[in-house]
Amino acid sequence: MKYDESNPWKNALTQLRNTAEIIDLDKNIQKILEKPAKTLITSFPVNMDDESIEVFEGYRVQHNATRGPCKGGIRYAPDVNLDEVKALASWMTYKTAIVNIPYGGAKGGVVVDPRKISVNELKRVTRRYTYSVIGMIGPERDIPAPDFNTTPEIMGWIMDTYSMIRGHTELSIVTGKSLELGGSLGRLEATGRGVHIVMEEALKQQKQSSKNATIAIQGFGNVGSNFAQIAHQNGGKIIAVTDAHSGCYNPEGLNIPEILDYVTKNPNRTVEGYPNAEIISNKELFTLDVDILAPCATQNQITRENADKIEAKLIVEGANGPTTPLADSILNEKGIVILPDILANAGGVTVSYFEWVQGLQYFFWDENQVNEALKKILVGAFAEVNQMKEKYNTRDFRTAAMALAVHRVARAIQLRGIFP
């Protein structure tokens, strides 16, 4: 049977099984990690503005909670599905293990296009979804966060819904909230900042610098735009950015502050129509001869169909699951270095952890403290992944990162034992 590389859950299982073979993982532990611990599929009715009722489908998956409460974002998209959410939950298990914070992995999703419903309808969808999953979530059980098409405002609605039902304000039920509702300074930029920190560590290892390095970025949402801004401030030359609607290209380097201002003022929040650059497609962006390619959109963007056309020397994954296992093999053969998602984009969950801790303590940090703690954790994680590369004599970072993560989760399972 032909392998379906478009299925993210199958890709996640392939990564786990490849790692299990390399590190000689106990087969019983592997069985546990191949199955999400809890899966909820919910259908819930919502009153629409025109007085009709629509029924929406939502998901919440908890992959593994051995190392602590589950943690994972909620995405709103018309094509989100259960296998996608399962994969994202498992990657979060490994991501939190790599940065060694006391969380397990979870993820949620609602089948909806938020651009096609009103703000009030979106609020009602969010509140009903929260009510549907309220038996799974909690500050000591499972803490949601923003993801694709979800925002600090939406996190505020989740916090309010949970708090009203529980009868008291609960700051730590979600992270990625607005500052006024107990959010953390530095959280909005954290994933993009983390991508830049990990990239810089990899370049240092190669005795190179990002100053004047040519960079192409796919995805210009929260992760891609913040990464672009930080890379630009540190001397990187971003020559191309794309989003779901269009793209900008200038071989001499794009004016990132100007593009960010343009996107902010554009009602559709897109680079489409930006006048001071050539138009470029996602397909063309992947073929550019650049030093660094940063896929910061969604999963399955680099596949066996386009992997052989990539000319970048370094790929840093700002998105979750942007590269399929089959594409990994092709890129590794070409000698392209890949900084995997579970390491490169772990900045978001790390600062979400800081936000959770601050909310539990009702004591908040300044931005320098947040950013310094983030850098310390990611630099340390990068060093530990390198140790795994040496231990298992593997040339690629993904295998080493997965080895580190699976070791930590497996050890926790062994130490706790199986109940009863």
Known catalytic residues? Answer: 107
**105: Cα within 13 Å, side-chain hemisphere:** 26
Which residue carries 């690629």 as its tokens?
A: 396
**232: Cα within 13 Å, side-chain hemisphere:** 21
**Residue 34, phi then psi, degrees to nearest 5:** -85, -5
221: number of Cβ within 10 Å: 20
Q: Where are the beta strands (DSSP E) in 126-221?
A: 142-146, 214-218
β-pair type (214-218, 104-111) = unpaired
Helical axes 187-205 vs 367-391, angle rounded to 10°: 40
Q: How far is CA 369 from CA 59, 178, 233, 372, in A?
A: 35, 18, 20, 5
Q: Which long-range contacts (CB under 8 A, 24 or more apart) does 24-30 make?
A: 25/406, 25/410, 26/410, 26/414, 29/410, 29/413, 29/414
- Which residues are CB-contacts of 202 (< 8 A; sequence separation ≥ 6)? 314, 316, 337, 339, 382, 397
CB 44 within 8 A of CB 126: no
Burial (Cβ within 10 Å: 0-12, 13-18, ≥19) of residue 63: buried
- Which residues are CB-contacts of 27 (< 8 A; sequence separation ≥ 6)? none
* Residue among 202, 211, 254, 206 nearest 236 (CA): 211
**Residue 240, phi then psi, degrees to nearest 5:** -155, 140
DSSP assignment of 24-83: T--HHHHHHHTS-SEEEEEEEEEE-TTS-EEEEEEEEEEEE-TTSSEEEEEEEETT--HH
Tally of residues, the chain: 420
How far, in Å, CA of 3 to CA of 330, rounded? 16
CA 40 to chain CA centroid, nearest Å = 21
